[in-house]
């Protein structure tokens, strides 16, 4: 039995266990923590910049929508006024009609003029609506395109 007892002692005497150097571990932990803080600051700066850009785009979009809405309202009022004036002018001409044939001629001219006016107003509204939609969506569209471009680069 004495032989087996000496073997572990001899083995323990020849093997060296590595020592733990706390200063190296502390330096590595500090470097890791500093890198994490730096990355957090960069992420916050990017987030802040993105939020500010988005806020400006939203403000621009709201102002543009307000302006576009006002323009469309003014166009609507102008169209209604023109249609009312056209109707009153037609009524005045009908009162002055001297025969049935003149009445039919006035009515035909009124209908033709009404259709022409309606087509012109529809084209005008379509153009104004398309422009308004493009103007309103442009700021946010630009922000999204820039953001996706930045994401694609990263």
The residue count of the chain comes to: 154
Residue 77: inside a domain, yes or no? yes
Rounded to whole angstroms, the Cα distance separating 57 from 63 reads 10
What is the domain extent for residue 121? 46-149
Residue 3: inside a domain, yes or no? no
Rounded to whole angstroms, the Cα distance separating 69 from 128 reads 10
Residue 113: inside a domain, yes or no? yes
**Structural domains counted in the chain:** 1
Instruction: List the pLDDT tens digit at each of the 154 positions of the chain.
Output: 455 555 555 555 566 656 766 777 788 888 888 999 999 998 888 888 888 888 898 899 899 999 999 999 999 999 999 999 999 999 999 998 899 999 999 999 999 999 999 999 999 999 999 999 999 888 888 888 887 777 776 6
């Amino acid at each position: 039995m004495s032989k087996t007892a000496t073997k572990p002692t001899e083995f323990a005497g020849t093997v060296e266990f590595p020592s733990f150097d706390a200063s190296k571990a502390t330096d590595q932990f500090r470097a890791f923590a500093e890198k994490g803080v730096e990355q957090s600051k960069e992420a916050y700066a990017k987030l802040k910049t993105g939020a500010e850009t988005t806020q400006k785009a939203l403000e621009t979009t709201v102002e543009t929508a307000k302006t576009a809405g006002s323009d469309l309202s003014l166009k609507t009022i102008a169209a209604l006024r023109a249609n009312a004036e056209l109707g009153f002018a037609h009524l005045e001409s009908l009162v002055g009609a001297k025969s049935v044939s003149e009445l039919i001629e006035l009515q035909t001219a009124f209908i033709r003029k009404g259709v022409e006016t309606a087509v012109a107003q529809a084209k005008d509204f379509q153009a104004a609506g398309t422009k308004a939609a493009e103007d309103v969506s442009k700021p946010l569209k630009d922000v999204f395109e820039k953001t996706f471009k930045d994401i694609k680069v990263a």
